[in-house]
Amino acid sequence: MTTLPSPLLLVGCGKMGGALLERWLDHGLAATTVTVVEPHEETAAALRERYNLTVLSSPSEISETPQAVVFAVKPQMMEDTLPPYAGLAGGGAEGPLFISIAAGRSIESLARHLGSDAAIIRAMPNTPAAIGQGMTVACASASVSDAQRDLAAGLFTTVGAFAWVDSEELLDPVTAVSGSGPAYVFLMAECLAQAGVAAGLDEDLAHRLARATVSGSGALLGRADETAAELRKNVTSPGGTTEAALDVLMAEPGLQSLLTEAVAAAAARARQFSS
C-alpha cells in the first residue's frame, strides 16, 4: 500500500501543482490533511470550493509542521519563495521532508535557504502526471531518511512511473528529456497536422489524424515489449511509403540531430537555474 505524507503542505498550485494535488487526493490523501499556500486569490478560492481544503495566502499563516513540503513554483520564483520555510526545518528526519519540482534548482541552492541538514529531494515530474501517465525522476540529499524516500516515492508513483538517480547532475538531462519532452511530442503532432494540410487534407481532419496517430502510437509504445526502434521497423515496409518518409526524417541533419541539439539546449538552461 502506498504511503502518503500527512500532513502535507503544497506551496504553489498552478498547472503542475494542481495536477499532482488532484492525483494525490484521488489516491486517498485526505483533504483535511492538506494545506496549500497560494497567494493568487482566484486560484485559492477555486481550490477551497473544489476540494474543501485549507488554502493560505502566506507561509506566515502555517499553524502546524507538515510531514512533507512540496514546492511547485517556477524556478525563477524559488529565491523569494524559500526563506520563510526555513523555520520549519528541524534537520533531517527531525524536520519535514522538502520536495522541489522546480527545474534546475539544485539541492545546494535549496539548502542555502532551508538549512544544510534539511532533508531535501529534487524531483522532476512531467505533465502526463495529470492523467496518471507521468514520469518522475528524483535525487535525495544525504539527510533524507529511508522512510522519507518512501514518502516521496509514494507521492510520485500515484502519478505514473518513478525512478531515483544518485547523481544530481543527471536531473538536468532528465529535465530536458522527460520534463520538457511532452512539448516535443505535442510539437510533432502540430507539425504533422500542418504537413497534412499542406498535402491537401482538410484542416480539421488533419488535426484529428495527427492527434489520434500520436496518442495511439504513444499508448502502443507504453504497452509493447519491443523497443521504439523495433516498433518503427515493424511499420516500415521496404520500398514503401513509410520508408520514403523516414529517408527524409533520418537524413543528416535530421530528426535525431535536432532532438540531440534540443535536449542539450534544455539541459543547459536547466543548469543556469542552479546558480
**Using an 8 Å Cβ cutoff, are 83 and 110 in contact?**
no
Query: Residue 88 has what pLDDT?
Result: 84
Distances from the Cα of 110 to the Cα of 71, 85, 174, angstroms? 11, 11, 19
Q: What are the start-end ranges of the H helices in 56-128?
A: 78-81, 107-114
* Main-chain phi, psi angles of 119, to 5 degrees: -85, 110
Contact at 8 Å (CB) between 22 and 44? no
| DSSP 8-state assignment for residue 135 | E
Q: What is the pTM of this model?
A: 0.90
**pLDDT tens digit at each of 275 positions of the chain:** 567 888 999 999 989 999 999 999 999 899 999 999 998 999 999 999 999 999 999 888 888 889 999 999 988 889 899 999 988 876 555 689 999 999 888 999 999 999 989 999 999 999 999 999 999 999 999 999 999 999 999 999 999 999 999 999 999 999 999 999 999 999 999 999 999 999 999 999 999 999 999 999 999 999 999 999 999 999 999 999 999 999 999 998 899 999 999 999 999 998 887 65
Q: Provide the angle, in degrees to the nearest 10, between the axes of the packed helices 181-198 and 203-223.
A: 140
Domains of the chain plus CATH, in order, are 8-168 (3.40.50.720), 181-272 (1.10.3730.10)
Give pLDDT, residue 90. Answer: 63
Q: Are 160 and 129 in contact (CB under 8 A)?
A: yes
Q: What pLDDT shows up at residue 55?
A: 93
